[in-house]
Amino acid sequence: MEYPRISKNINKIESVLQDQTSVLLFNARLHYSITRDKKQFYKAVDTVEKNWICPELERFLEKTQGEGIIVWGCGHDGKETKRVLDLCGHPPAFFCDRDTDKVGSRVEGVEVISFDSLVKKYSHYSVVIGSGAYKREMYRDLVSNNFPEQNILNPRYNHLQARTEKKQYFDVFKPDENEIFVDVGAYLGETIWDFVQWTDRNYLKIIAMEPSEERCRHIAASCKERGLKNVYVKAFAAWEKEDRLFFKEDKAGSRVEQNKQDNGNVVKAIDMDNIIQNDPVTFIKMDIEGGELKALKGAGMVIKRERPKLAISLYHKPEDIIELPLYLLELVPEYKFYIRHYRSDICETVLYAYV
């Protein structure tokens, strides 16, 4: 895409952003998609978001007996861990690293100590492991050196992550009467429950789309347990047309692929126009790990006809920051946009659209 056209498209999107937060995050996301410079993106996020929570950290701090916090590992994941600790008001006292060249230095203003010092002098501290690649080995090393297990936090993901206190997908719009909600990428159904609470159970219908039949059974059972009515769970991947795709399971973000995956299962895909048909849909949420544009193309008739509120993930692909808003404006030129960000790292940016 030539520069004049890119510039024109950027200006077109910016012209329908509804507040300064959206403009700031749009430009930060655009800059990151080109440069992959996290620091500039974080600077923008920290300008607009001040209140962060990390449930994993809070649960750990309730049981640990440590006098302070040490982050083991001062590489990428360790620095991300420090960022979360700082955001949540628990800055680390030290980094720890086995690299003797780093010991005695300061990383992001924090002193680096050796592993020997950690286990011999600082066993009364709490350790947060800051390495996704070696987390199991690091945990075993601490335990084998008699470091108190209750003082070790081995994060679920590669590094500790925090989120804002705002409710993702539901903090921009107010609910209307008789909402018909489509949850595309329903996973285990948490967003369905958020929607129900958002509407105070005053909704007309919920359609959940999730490729995994096992997860669909879980969603159906969970909804039944909570007494939810008019919830229709569809075991399909949302796509631009009816197809068969490969579904790759990944705790960091399961997704469909057109090409065969070594550990992927074949799943049925379908366009949302086919699923929704004549339902007067009022709200579509979509988070499908990079398949958003394909799925939106498969929902083109419904979006043109009903002009629903939209909450669309805007971070899976570098080009999404331009392509997704532009496509929505092609469908409905009257759409106005908000952009919000919900996590301490570069994931969970959401584009909101409404008429």
Q: What DSSP string runs through 199-268?
A: TTT-EEEEEEE-S-HHHHHHHHHHHHHTT--SEEEE--EEESSSEEEEEE--TT--EEESS--TTEEEEE
Tokens of 104: 């005695």
Helix (H, G, I), strand (E, B) or coil at 168: coil
DSSP-derived letter for residue 343 is B
Identify the pLDDT of residue 266: 83
Whether residue 71 contacts residue 81, with contact meaning beta carbons closer than 8 Å, is answered with yes
Given the DSSP bridges, would you call strands 110-113 and 106-107 parallel, antiparallel or unpaired?
antiparallel
Distance CA 279, CA 250 (A): 32
Question: Cα(201)–Cα(199) distance, rounded to whole angstroms?
Answer: 5
Q: Give the pLDDT confidence score for residue 113 in this predicted structure.
A: 97
Number of helices followed by number of strands (H, E) in the chain: 13, 19
- Could you read off the pLDDT of 283-321 as tens digits, one per residue? 999 999 889 999 999 999 999 999 999 999 999 999 999
Strand 163-164 and strand 106-107: the pairing is: unpaired
The Cα–Cα gap between 282 and 305 comes to 11
Q: What is the predicted pLDDT for the residue at 307?
A: 98
Query: What would the pLDDT profile of 41-92 be if each residue is shown by its tens digit?
Result: 999 999 999 999 999 999 999 999 889 999 999 999 999 999 999 999 999 9
How many other C-beta atoms lie within 10 A of the C-beta of residue 322?
19
CA angle 227, 173, 180 (to 5 degrees): 45
Mean pLDDT by 10 residues, the chain (355 residues): 76 97 97 94 95 96 92 96 96 96 96 96 95 94 95 94 96 95 95 97 96 92 95 94 77 56 74 94 94 95 97 95 97 98 96 97
| DSSP state string for 44-99 | HHHHH---EE-HHHHHHHHH---SSEEEE--SHHHHHHHHHHHHTT---SEEE-S-
Q: Is the dihedral of CA 144, 149, 153, 158 positive or negative?
A: positive
- What H or E segment, with its residue span, contains residue 309? strand 309-313
Q: How many CA atoms lie within 13 A of 221 on its CB side?
A: 7
Query: Hey, what are 305's tokens?
Result: 């006809």
**Residue 5, Cβ neighbours under 10 Å: how many?**
9
Which pLDDT score, from 0 to 100, does residue 117 have? 96
Q: Indicate the pTM of the whole model.
A: 0.91
**Single-letter code of the amino acid located at 46:** D
CB 338 within 8 Å of CB 349: no
pLDDT at 31: 96
Between CA 246 and CA 285 the distance in angstroms is: 22
d(CA 166, CA 341): 10
Helix (H) or strand (E) holding 301: helix 300-306
CB atoms within 10 A of CB 336: 15
Helical (H) or strand (E) element with 163: strand 163-164
Tokens of 137: 């080995």
Q: What is the C-alpha to C-alpha distance for residues 157 and 347, in angstroms, rounded to an integer? A: 13
pLDDT at residue 253, rounded to an integer: 53
Do the Cβ atoms of 77 and 130 come closer than 8 Å?
Answer: yes
CA dist 96 and 189 (Å) reads 39
Identify the CA nearest to 64 among candidates 116, 128, 118: 128
